[in-house]
């Protein structure tokens, strides 16, 4: 059942977004429940990251609205938008750590910019956040000295430094070894339960994501294909959802990128067509 | 048709760059409130450019002294060598060559740094942390660059006229009288010349840093984009510096 009223932290209505001629979203509705982990799944290139950038107000939709805690994200001034973003955390696919700062300074960055806390208190908060992601020992290292999995955990510590209401995870499991993946999954769930954070988890790692989500959306071709509890998604009989969940190359979702030229014509020249 | 498209594209870029400059200028007061960031950048782009500027200044001063001595001695006026070197360096070569070297050394590195920050989502990451990258990253670099340019230009001139450049070759090697070298400079050079030299450096500082930061900030977020931004910074900055020098010199000669 879709969350309603006060239970909804992010409400997306009639979202339409295109990159030039390429339509990414065509009338998408979504509700992200407060205090829950909501998964957004879909094949590569369906615009899952785009959705996070639209929610964060980095990009503007051509039509439709995105509300965060009842406030229309795209009708805010720059300063108002920045105020809203203090209540959002985002974990980028590559971590997006500042390469000229140490791990410690990266996590301290949002605190130094916004909290006005004295250095000693910032130090304690940073150490606590780093301890939560198991990287207190790496505080003095630079991003180039840590692995990709560690970088994502540091980015997670930074994303939760200001204790936001919402954390958006962009493909947190891509390229992770099983240990890092397990650690990240546990962390996401623990943060949600311990701090009451609302989480949006964008991924195409179906089983992992469904195992830690409370609710899930499957998107493809600019539309929401299905949404519901992980159990409802797993047992969905929709052909498109099944193709995605079971990883079948053939089905309603095309594996091949659209082209007007036939394979034979392309290989043998236009005369063979 | 193609020409019209190129012209439209050029004007669009110019408009975008002008808006970018306005945004930076609007963010400067905040940059001034955080002097630590500016000082850090002064070190990165000013201090680290010092060696190349000082060495180049020395060589250019030395060459000017050699060439000037040859011509002046034909007229028995080798004692005026100091003036020739000083005018050449202070009015023209100091600000112009410093700006060209700065574009190659610091401008390219600024464009590459900002371009890579964009390509690796560091700028987006800052925006999502409610930190304006223009205020936090761009404005302090711009301010530091604009402050650094006149200082570097002055050091270039000092090295070229005195110390290792003109003085070394003219006085110590070619035997021009020490007293004449300095007194001729003292008598002929007006504070206005130095003021104009600093003004040129300041204008070049604004231009080169603006171009470098704009190229980096608007680079396509991939390796080719960063490479293009770096190249464009050096090419466009060099041409703009030379063109601006012509315009400024025409006004100053009036």
A169 in a structural domain: no
Mean pLDDT of B220-249: 95
Mean pLDDT of B155-162: 84
A64 in a structural domain: yes
Chain A residue whose CA is closest to B125: A96
pLDDT top residue among B149 and A180: B149
- What are the pLDDT digits (tens) for B200-234? 999 999 999 999 999 999 999 999 999 999 999 99
- What are the pLDDT digits (tens) for B77-122? 888 888 888 888 988 999 999 999 999 999 999 999 999 999 999 9
pLDDT top residue among B131 and A246: B131
Residue B136 contacts A where some CB pair is shorter than 8 Å: yes
For chain B, the structural domain boundaries read 42-252
Which of A82, A112, A143, A169 to mutate: most B Cβ within 10 Å? A82
Q: Does residue B2 surpass a pLDDT of 80?
A: yes
Q: Does residue A266 surpass a pLDDT of 90?
A: no
Q: Does residue A37 surpass a pLDDT of 90?
A: yes
pLDDT top residue among B194 and B79: B194
Residue B130 contacts A where some CB pair is shorter than 8 Å: yes
Of B117, B122, B127, the CB nearest to A58: B127
Mean pLDDT of B56-61: 91
**Contact A78/B120, CB-based, under 8 Å?**
no
**Contact B121/A158, CB-based, under 8 Å?**
no
Chain A residue whose CA is closest to B40: A100
**Which band of pLDDT confidence, cut at 50, 70 and 90, is reported for residue B40?**
very high
Residue A178 pLDDT: 84
Q: Does residue A271 surpass a pLDDT of 80?
A: no
Mean pLDDT of A63-73: 92
Alpha-carbon distances of B238 from B101, B104, B197, B211, rounded to whole Å: 9, 9, 18, 10
Residue A221 pLDDT: 82
**Which band of pLDDT confidence, cut at 50, 70 and 90, is reported for residue A273?**
very low
> How many A-B residue pairs are in contact by the CB < 8 A criterion?
53
**Contact B130/A113, CB-based, under 8 Å?**
yes
Edge-to-edge strands of the sheet including A198-203? A88-91, A166-170, A198-203, A37-41, A215-220, A223-228
Alpha-carbon distances of A187 from A38, A40, A151, B4, B144, rounded to whole Å: 15, 18, 14, 56, 41
Of B125, B128, B130, the CB nearest to A114: B130
- What are the pLDDT digits (tens) for B113-152? 999 999 999 999 999 999 999 999 999 999 999 999 999 9
- Chain A CB contacts of B124 under 8 Å are 53, 58, 92, 96
A217 in a structural domain: yes
Which of A92, A93, A159 to mutate: most B Cβ within 10 Å? A92
**Contact B129/A113, CB-based, under 8 Å?**
yes
Which of A18-27, A135-144, B177-186 is modeled with the greatest confidence?
A: A135-144
Residue B212 pLDDT: 96
Least confident of A200-209, B14-23, B240-249: A200-209
- Chain A CB contacts of B133 under 8 Å are none
Print the domain residue range for A57: 5-87+197-272
Residue A1 pLDDT: 45
Chain A residue whose CA is closest to B121: A96
- Counted domains in chain A: 1
Nearest chain A CA: its distance from B149 CA (Å): 24
A36 in a structural domain: yes
Which of A52, A84, A113, A142 to mutate: most B Cβ within 10 Å? A113
Nearest to A201 by CA among A48, A68, A86, A97: A48
Of B120, B128, B131, the CB nearest to A113: B131
pTM: 0.86
Residue B249 contacts A where some CB pair is shorter than 8 Å: no
A13 in a structural domain: yes
Least confident of A159-168, A248-257, B16-25: A248-257
Residue A19 pLDDT: 86
Check which CATH number belongs to the domain holding A225 and give it: 3.40.50.300
Of B117, B122, B128, the CB nearest to A85: B128
């Amino acid at each position: 059942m879709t969350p309603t009223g006060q239970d909804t932290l992010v409400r997306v209505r009639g979202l339409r977004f295109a990159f030039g001629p390429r339509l990414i979203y065509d009338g998408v509705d979504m509700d992200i429940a407060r205090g829950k982990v909501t998964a957004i799944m879909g094949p590569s290139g369906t615009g899952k990251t785009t959705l996070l950038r639209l929610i964060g107000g980095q990009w503007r939709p051509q039509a439709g609205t995105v509300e965060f805690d009842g406030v229309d994200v795209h009708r805010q001034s720059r300063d108002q938008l920045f105020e809203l973003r203090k209540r959002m955390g985002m974990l980028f696919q590559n971590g997006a750590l500042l390469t000229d700062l140490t791990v410690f300074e990266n996590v301290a960055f949002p605190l130094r910019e916004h909290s006005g806390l004295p250095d000693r208190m910032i130090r304690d908060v940073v150490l606590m956040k780093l301890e939560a992601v198991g990287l207190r020992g790496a505080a003095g290292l630079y991003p180039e000295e840590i692995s990709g999995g560690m970088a994502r955990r540091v980015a997670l510590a930074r994303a939760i430094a200001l204790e936001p209401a919402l954390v958006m995870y962009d493909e947190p499991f891509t390229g992770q070894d099983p240990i890092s993946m397990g650690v990240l999954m546990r962390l996401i769930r623990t943060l949600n339960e311990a701090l009451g954070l609302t989480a949006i988890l964008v991924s195409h790692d179906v089983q992992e994501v469904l195992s830690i989500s409370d609710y899930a959306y499957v998107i493809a071709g600019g539309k929401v294909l299905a949404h519901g509890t992980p159990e409802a998604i797993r047992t969905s009989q929709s052909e498109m959802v099944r193709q995605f969940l079971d990883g079948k190359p053939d089905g309603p979702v095309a594996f091949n990128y659209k082209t007007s030229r036939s394979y034979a014509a392309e290989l043998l020249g236009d005369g063979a067509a | 048709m193609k020409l019209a498209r190129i012209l439209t594209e050029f004007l669009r870029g110019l408009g975008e760059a002008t808006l970018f400059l306005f945004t930076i200028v609007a963010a400067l007061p905040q940059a001034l409130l955080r002097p630590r960031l500016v000082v850090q950048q002064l070190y990165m782009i000013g201090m680290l450019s010092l060696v190349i500027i000082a060495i180049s200044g020395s060589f250019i001063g030395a060459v000017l002294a050699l060439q000037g001595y040859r011509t002046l001695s034909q007229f028995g006026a080798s004692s005026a060598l100091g003036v020739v070197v000083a005018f050449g360096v202070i009015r023209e070569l100091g600000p112009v060559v410093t700006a060209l070297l700065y574009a190659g050394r610091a401008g390219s590195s600024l464009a590459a740094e900002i371009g890579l920050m964009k390509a690796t989502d560091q700028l987006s990451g800052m925006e999502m942390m409610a930190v304006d990258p223009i205020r936090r990253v761009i404005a302090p670099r711009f301010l530091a660059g604009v402050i650094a340019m006149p200082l570097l230009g002055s050091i270039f001139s000092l090295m070229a006229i005195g110390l290792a450049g003109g003085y070394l070759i003219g006085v110590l090697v070619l035997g021009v009288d020490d007293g004449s070298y300095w007194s001729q400079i003292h008598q002929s050079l007006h504070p206005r010349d130095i003021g104009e030299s600093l003004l040129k450096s300041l204008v070049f500082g604004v231009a080169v840093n603006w171009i470098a930061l704009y190229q980096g900030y608007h680079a396509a977020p991939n390796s080719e984009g960063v490479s293009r931004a770096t190249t464009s910074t050096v090419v466009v900055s060099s041409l703009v510096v030379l063109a601006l020098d012509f315009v400024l010199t025409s006004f100053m000669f009036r």
